[in-house]
Structure 1
Amino acid sequence: MLKIGLIGVGHLGKIHLKCIRLAREAYDLVGIYDSDKELAKRVADDYHTTAFPSLEALIAAVEVVDVVTPTSTHFAVVKAALEGDSHVFVEKPLTETLDEARELIDLSRRSGKLVQVGHVERFNPALLALGDVPVQPYFIEAHRLAMFNPRGTDVSVILDLMIHDLDIVLKLANDEVAEVRASGVAVLSNTPDIVNARLEFRNGAVANLTASRVSLKNMRKVRLFQRDAYISLDLLEKESQVVRLFNPGATDLPEQGQQFPLETPRGPRIIHVDQPASGPVNAIQMELESLAASIRDNRPAAVSIEDGYRALELAQRIAEAVAENQARMPDPLS
């Protein structure tokens, strides 16, 4: 087992603490640290662990740190952990700035220590259920809508919510973004609360993403359209549906699922509809356990620090596009 310490015991930190306990075959929880010493003591008492007096003391006592602190602190905490010879799990987004992220990438490579970024949707059962289904989308549509919650409004909806789908889209499209167009509005906070972005990839694929934290209902859906296939992912309900077209008599037609004949301008085809199942998982526990496996097997992290950088870079490009678009809009109060 790897000795692990948790840094940050707020709302999400407590969830991580429970998941570390569940991952008992992978980790031995050594203790916790939080800049709020009274909170750290209360949580340590509740969870029967040790509250360390300083960040440095905790890092010195462990092999892995789990960083669940405000984004503004990620750079300093992760840097201290890497310099202290620890592997790192850090919640998304990786850092506040690209310069900070680049410095951490360099430090991670020089230290030989892994950094995994907490893009937890990579471990959503709806996405995991795709398994070996071939994915080469020409068009991607993503909607991530949430009811307003003051927690998280210290950053724009791009870093708060959309960044989840940016990571998924970058993974599925597997290409570089050539062009970004975006618009957004600050409705209830001082930063954009609803943003729409259109991404064009070098290979011609297009992604259209909308993120809102001022909606009347929650929604987390991703739809992929590709040649002879449509894939729908409901990340909230953790369900997926794959609709594919096959030629009659095709040898690769899956046995499971439903089949329907269809006449098309290109001749008769078979519609195959499948809802691949992936059993319920604890996504946070799973991502923490995946880091332990990567350390043990000496292989890259499932969501590498470079992945975290790419999502952050794209988020900043979208934020810049939103700002440019707002600058062109007339001020209704002038």
Structure 2
Amino acid sequence: MELNVGVVGVGVMGTYHAQVYAGLPGVRLVGVADPDPFRQAAIEQDLEVPAYPNPEDLLGKVQAVSIASPTSFHYEQARMFLEAGVHVLLEKPMTRTLREAQDLVRVAERRGVILQVGHIVRFYRAVGDLMQMVRNPWVLEARRMSNNRRIRDIGVVLDLMIHDLDLVLLLLREKPLRYSVVGRQVDGLDEFAQAVVDFPSGARALFTASRISPQAERSLTITQPGEVLRLDFNSEYTELSVHRSPPVHPDPDRTVPNGRTQVQTERIAIHNENPLRRQLKHFVDRIQKDEPPLVTLEDDLQALELALELSHALQPVSV
């Protein structure tokens, strides 16, 4: 039996959700909701499904929804669907406050429906490989830079840095011990932020996120005993580089004339295989096949809590 799904908010990300759902086997996209008549018309023309002005118009028609509206609407919209017994995939960040997110988790558990948060980075194949390779890291450095200020209701920490906060928390499986953060504002919103987060194990994570960078970059570098791991993300492939240190007793024949010791480097290009499709298929399979979640809602809450703490503590550097 097909699963009837809808999408709330068909801006850039929501349109991608609708397009993926329209092509997923066992899924029927029955409609979208967006207050913008131009977006409504575009979806109706491109995907040939009804477009409604209000999310309430999807009630009674859908068994599951993706919510990709601005963050300020997440709590109200997600709660409405969860209370109606509809499974919800909620784009990150979950909500504007931790209390709202915790309430959504309680409602989902009480109603016996699935609430999944749209952290797309979790569904990159290279990230899955990385999870198996990380052991006792010393330093983790994440850089997420762009020149895109289309998101105007949240700052750069909740918009971009949260991806890397989530990933580092999943890799370390520790709660932060302490942190510091600085940044810059443009037109009243934080558009650049740098954070240092220390963990009880002694690991230190460095995060840089920017929506005003002239050059795009998405990378994660992990230094651990004997090697450095680096992920470089791009649109189609993610390059995983492994730089291994020489043996404890280096071979003199591997020492170059200037006294530097050679380091072995291995590079692997991993096709991303549309991580959004993998994410939405996982959501659908959880509903139709009772597959276990990739992560827990507690993981989602921890990532949001850290992002909110950093965002609240952010002290913009004076110009």
TM-score for the superposition, normalised by structure 1: 0.84
1:277 deviation in Å? 4.4
Match of 1:91 in 2: 91
1:78-124 CA distances to partner (integer Å, 9 max, x unpaired)? 10111111111111101111111010011111112111111111122
Matched, 1:15 2:16: yes
Match of 1:154 in 2: 153
Match of 2:111 in 1: 111
Q: Find the aligned partners of 1:217 and 1:291 in 2 and give their Cα distance.
A: 33
Q: Find the aligned partners of 1:196 and 1:131 in 2 and give their Cα distance.
A: 24
Q: Find the aligned partners of 1:118 and 1:296 in 2 and give their Cα distance.
A: 18
- Superposition map of 1:1-334 within 5 A: 1-23=2-24, 25-37=25-37, 39-52=39-52, 54-130=54-130, 132-147=132-147, 149-186=148-185, 188-236=186-234, 238-244=238-244, 273-323=265-315
Evaluate the alpha carbon distance shift between residue 229 and residue 64 of structure 1 in structure 2; reply closer, same or farther with a 3 A threshold.
same
Contact kept in structure 1, 2:33 and 2:57, CA below 8 Å: no
Number of aligned residue pairs: 308
Contact kept in structure 2, 1:26 and 1:289, CA below 8 Å: no
Q: Find the aligned partners of 1:113 and 1:278 in 2 and give their Cα distance.
A: 34
Contact kept in structure 2, 1:94 and 1:305, CA below 8 Å: no
Question: What is the letter of the counterpart of residue 283 of structure 1?
Answer: P
1:271 deviation in Å? 6.0
Q: Find the aligned partners of 2:19 and 2:97 in 1 and give their Cα distance.
A: 30
Contact kept in structure 1, 2:191 and 2:211, CA below 8 Å: yes
1:209-257 CA distances to partner (integer Å, 9 max, x unpaired)? 1111111100111101112221101123521112345869xxxxxxxxx
1:182-205 CA distances to partner (integer Å, 9 max, x unpaired)? 11111x321221111010112221
Q: SS at the partner of 1:177? A: coil
1:280 deviation in Å? 3.6
Q: Find the aligned partners of 2:31 and 2:294 in 1 and give their Cα distance.
A: 25
Which blocks of at least 5 consecutive residues in structure 2 are unaligned?
256-260
Q: SS at the partner of 1:278? A: strand
Match of 2:258 in 1: none
1:31 deviation in Å? 1.4
Evaluate the alpha carbon distance shift between residue 238 and residue 293 of structure 1 in structure 2; reply closer, same or farther with a 3 A threshold.
same
Match of 1:256 in 2: none
Q: SS at the partner of 1:61? A: coil
Cα RMSD of the aligned pairs, angstroms, is 2.6
1:284 deviation in Å? 0.9
Q: SS at the partner of 1:16? A: helix
Question: What is the letter of the counterpart of residue 280 of structure 2?
Answer: L
Question: What is the letter of the counterpart of residue 195 of structure 1?
Answer: A
Q: SS at the partner of 2:95? A: coil
Contact kept in structure 1, 2:240 and 2:270, CA below 8 Å: no
Contact kept in structure 2, 1:152 and 1:160, CA below 8 Å: yes
Q: Find the aligned partners of 1:320 and 1:51 in 2 and give their Cα distance.
A: 37
Evaluate the alpha carbon distance shift between residue 225 and residue 86 of structure 1 in structure 2; reply closer, same or farther with a 3 A threshold.
same
Match of 1:257 in 2: none
Question: What is the letter of the counterpart of residue 209 of structure 1?
Answer: F
Bigger drift between 235-244 and 77-86 goes to 235-244
Bigger drift between 310-319 and 30-39 goes to 30-39
Contact kept in structure 2, 1:93 and 1:159, CA below 8 Å: yes
